[in-house]
Amino acid sequence: MYKVKEDFKERHKLILGKDYDLFEESLFRSLPASFRINTLKINKDEMIKRLKGYGWMFNEVPFYDDGFVFEGKKPVVLGNTLEHFLGYIYIQEVASMIPPVVLEPKQGDVILDMAAAPGSKTTQIAQMISDKGVIIANEKILSRLASLRSNLQRCGVNCAITTNIDGKHFRTAGLKFDKVLLDAPCTGTGAIMKSPKTLKIWSENTSKWLANIQKQLLQAAAESLKDEGVLVYSTCSLEPEENEENVDWAIRKLGFSVEEVKLPGFKTMNGITSWGKKEFDKQVENCIRIYPQDNNTEGFFVAKLRRG
């Protein structure tokens, strides 16, 4: 059993105040199983009828019609089901479904998923545009391309092209996109319940080091966007250095504005507007923080940025 470090505890007490104890308790609780019905492969109503015929009990995700979360204990190992192998369902944590919803992809859009593997959000975006558009699914780490390509194939995605470029250098490709999703590499402090070792290896210096990489990715994303293009920046980190501080930098240095995000039926907190001695642009309040104790999900941070 990993213990919560004192510096981690103190910093999150500053953010959460009286809710900190609930937050810490949630870090050691198993998450309910959740999945998407992949409408590229099967009709949603037909699939619901099929799954309920197995005795599965699940509820619709409040903000996304094709997402579902189990009531109580899942009856089977989802990854071993025929429906999974056929691509009729995609196993995905509820909070992970949020960035594509915030991106609001439309048919005909040219979209960059800058750090795409293993393809959860790429396949979701393809589903949301009914496979009618163009998605560049980029992944820096060559060994992770196999899982990305496998999931795209399994889910029947034809509109995606995979690339193997360091996201920081993607602007050199000379392409311009209507929308960019940057689900950035991060410390993962919102997903400790899935990876408890994060508690052992986390440090403030690691967050600061990653924040520099994230800024480089934001810069590359900005240079890859068309005028008035939309960038959704997300992490499964809860650290201000990786989140609000980066968004504040994107406002000041890259000329982005931050649009309000609403997720009906789902509890979120506004982005924080100061950290330590730093005061952030007021627009940062439009970002959302998702805490695990509020919806029994991973923790996440999401910002919707517009260029120009």
Give catalytic residues, as residue numbers.
Answer: 236
Cα distance between residue 273 and residue 283, in whole Å: 8
What are the distances in angstroms from CA 167 to CA 146, 216, 228, 265?
18, 9, 21, 34
3-state per-residue secondary structure call for 186-204? CCCCCCCCCCCCHHHHCCH
Measured in degrees and rounded to the nearest 5, phi and psi for residue 216 equal -65, -40
Q: How many helices (H) and strands (E) does the chain have?
A: 11, 15
Strand runs labelled E in 41-82: 58-60, 67-70
- Measured CA to CA, the distance from residue 252 to residue 258 in angstroms comes to 11
Token digits of residue 294? 């509020």
Closest to 95 in 3D by CA, of 268, 212, 219: 268
Fill in the amino acid letter for 295.
N
